[in-house]
Structure 1
Amino acid sequence: MGKRVLARRRPIVRAVLIGVCLTAVFVGGGAALAGWPESDPTAEAAEDPAEDASEEAESGAGEPTTAPGGSNVAPAPTASPEAVRRIPVPDDGPGTFTTARSAGSPVGSGDTVRRYRVQVEKGIELSEREAAVEIETILAHPRGWTSDGRNSFQLVASGPSDFDVKIATPGTVDRICGAAGLLTRGEVNCTVGRTVVVNLKRWVLGSEQFDGPVTEYRALIINHEVGHRLGRGHVTCGGEGEPAPAMMQQIKGLHGCVANAWPYEENGTYITGPAVP
């Protein structure tokens, strides 16, 4: 298995994902772009498309979603896992997107602020605002990427952004990822360039390999793909019974680790393992 990275075993810590939504305020501000790599296309072999240059997403100011100074707050999705599971997953869609009319304060204490938009493919029964709230709270979690003390994130509705998160039907994911030479087979997500595209099938149904609620699996999707945008590569299990790293392709199997959605332990230890060649 290679060198064990964590000094002690810890059981899976499941985030409390059901709660009230964040109260929001508008906050302006510029984006800090330093250290933002133009990473190579990355596709998950049963987990994780790129930005379609021909699409025109609707955008604009609207209802904000983040509380003032709302960094390091626990995820609080707007719907129960049962309600989310009832959302139909069409095989295909039009390939055009609506941008969430939501904006928030930066979350995290890092000097580098990553501005991002959330976009949902038109014609599917998923609220772009609810998706934006959930993604924002995942990125604000104290065990998320803000734990490194360097990175902060800010949800925006318009203007410059450092990356986009698109939620799309399997067919649209295949086309966008396929244009970059990635094979997703209607099943997985991918990251290409500045765009994270989430397969609606995984967002709604989760993965049989992940022992936890679908809301927590969505946290894994976002943490894994945003990790690629931060320049993180794939790793494997760090040791029998250890939490699986967020940068591990957990949908391929846990290899002795315990399913886990978060990059960091509660004590601030980064969860990792041997690099995947």
Structure 2
Amino acid sequence: MRSQLTGGLAALAVFAAVGGAVVAWLPSDAKRPSTAATPSGSPAPGPAETPAPPRTSEPPEPDKSSPPPGPSTTPLPRSGPGTFVTAPGESGKVGKGTPLRYRVEVEKGIAISPKDVAEQVERTLADPRGWTADGHSAFQRVADGPTDFRVRLATPATVDKFCAEGGLDTGGKVNCSVNRNVMVNLRRWVLATEFYTKDVVGYRSLIINHEVGHFLGHGHVTCPGEGQPAPAMMQQIKGLLGCVPNVWPYDSDGRPITGPAVP
């Protein structure tokens, strides 16, 4: 989405090891099989000089969410102060061309290290199956100075507030990309969705690839065919439609993973 759970201890345990698109935890999630991530995308424009039109990765769903059973090592507050802590340091440039400078921020009060989140975002954007495979996109994380976009991990209420500025109703459940902010819903980062119950870390890469893809100018697509990898720009939270889980815009041979465009 441009201006764009799953349950249990297993997902939270994975989260503890790592430090945008999105669904509430459903009791049925625990019954889902494990998933695998593979590489999608299409050429993207260079740095944006004006805010891109907002897009949502997925529309809000009826509220079926409930806390995961058992004790949680990661609190999942519904709202926060709306202010952020910036991840320290910076990364090297990845990709060809003039790099898009981005900052990674975590809302204050969230018990997740900004450094861990930044490392996940860096790995995703540097992966050869990511957007740099288009041959002209490049990225560099910074901690200060001018930026082209920001990746912000925030509570559901804060995500809703920022996304609403772009005219989006994210319903406390989904991510968005709006006004150069890639807004990542805390529950999605920790709990993923029913299709990624055993690959929460992979789902985080899908969030980043989908929302950054919107920032780069990519719209939604759908499943290209039964048994094929689900495109990163597909609204996978709504269902895979016969495709298999995949979090990358490109495959390992540098071919875009995409499908028919959808509104």
If the length of structure 2 is used for normalisation, what is the TM-score? 0.76
Cα shift at 1:276:
0.3
User: Partner of 1:209: helix, strand, or coil?
Assistant: helix
What is the match of residue 121 of structure 1?
Answer: 107
Q: C-alpha displacement at 1:34, in angstroms? A: 4.5
Q: Return the match for 2:51 from 35, 38, 48.
A: 38
For 1:163-209, what per-residue CA distance to the aligned partner results, in whole angstroms no more than 9, with x for missing partners? 00000001111111123221111100011021100000000000003
Specify whether residues 13 and 176 from structure 1 end up closer, same or farther in structure 2 by C-alpha distance, changes over 3 A only: same
Tell me the CA shift for residue 35 of structure 1: 4.9
Deviation at 1:112, TM superposition (A): 2.7
Residue aligning to 1:86: 73
Structure 1 Cα separation of the partners of residues 128 and 231 of structure 2: 16
Native 8 Å contact 2:160 2:170 kept in 1: yes
Q: Which runs of 5+ in 1 are unaligned?
A: 1-11, 16-32, 48-84
Q: Which runs of 5+ in 2 are unaligned?
A: 1-34, 39-44, 61-71
Aligned to 1:200: 186
**CA distance in structure 2 between the aligned counterparts of 1:211 and 1:147, rounded to whole angstroms:** 28
Task: Verify: 1:102 aligned to 2:125, yes or no.
Answer: no
Can you list the C-alpha shifts for 1:218-247, whole angstroms capped at 9, x where unaligned? Answer: 000000000011100000000100000000
Q: Secondary structure at the match of 1:181?
A: coil
User: Whose RCO is larger (CA < 8 A, sep 6+)?
Assistant: 2
1:23-172 paired onto structure 2 within 5 Å: 34-36=46-48, 38-45=51-58, 86-108=73-95, 110-172=96-158
Distance 1:125 1:133, change over 3 A: same
Amino acid paired to 2:56 = A
Contact kept, 8 Å, 1:44 with 1:184, in 2: the verdict is: no
> What CA distance in whole angstroms lies between the structure 2 residues aligned with 1:173 and 1:96?
12
Whether the 8 Å CA contact 1:211–1:259 is kept in 2: the answer is no
Percent same amino acid at aligned positions? 55
Answer whether contact 2:37 2:245 (CA < 8 A) is retained: no
Query: What's the counterpart of residue 220 of structure 2?
Result: 234
Q: Distance in 2 between matches of 1:175 and 1:35?
A: 25
The answer on whether the counterparts of 1:102 and 1:132 sit within 8 Å (CA) in structure 2 is: no
Query: For the structure 1 residues 234 and 34, does the alpha-carbon distance in structure 2 shift closer, same or farther, using more than 3 Å as the test?
Result: closer
Give the aligned CA root-mean-square deviation in angstroms.
Answer: 1.8
- Rounded Cα–Cα distance in structure 2 between residues aligned with 1:34 and 1:155: 16
Return the alpha-carbon distance in structure 1 between the equivalents of residues 254 and 36 of structure 2: 14
Name the CA shift for 1:34/1:207 in 2 (closer, same or farther; >3 Å).
closer
Give secondary structure in 2 for the equivalent of 1:175.
Answer: helix
Q: Within 1, Cα distance between the matches of 2:257 and 2:197?
A: 18
Determine the structure 2 residue equivalent to 1:269.
255
- Greater shift after overlay, 174-183 or 233-242? 174-183
Displaced runs of 4+ in structure 1, greater than 4 A?
Answer: none
Aligned equivalent of 2:37, options 5, 9, 14: 14
- Aligned pair partner of 2:206 in 205, 212, 220: 220
Maintained 8 Å contact 2:105/2:153: yes
1:46–1:251 contact (8 Å) kept in structure 2: no
Q: Which letter does structure 1 place at the counterpart of 2:88?
A: R
**1:129: Cα distance to partner?**
0.8
Sort the Cα spacing of 1:267 and 1:212 in 2 relative to 1 into closer, same or farther, 3 A: farther
Separation in 1 of the partners of 2:86 and 2:199? 26
How many Å apart are 1:149 and its aligned residue? 1.4
Q: TM-score, normalised by structure 1?
A: 0.72
Higher helix share: 2
Q: 1-side partners of 2:123 and 2:57: how far apart? A: 23
What is the deviation of 1:46?
5.2
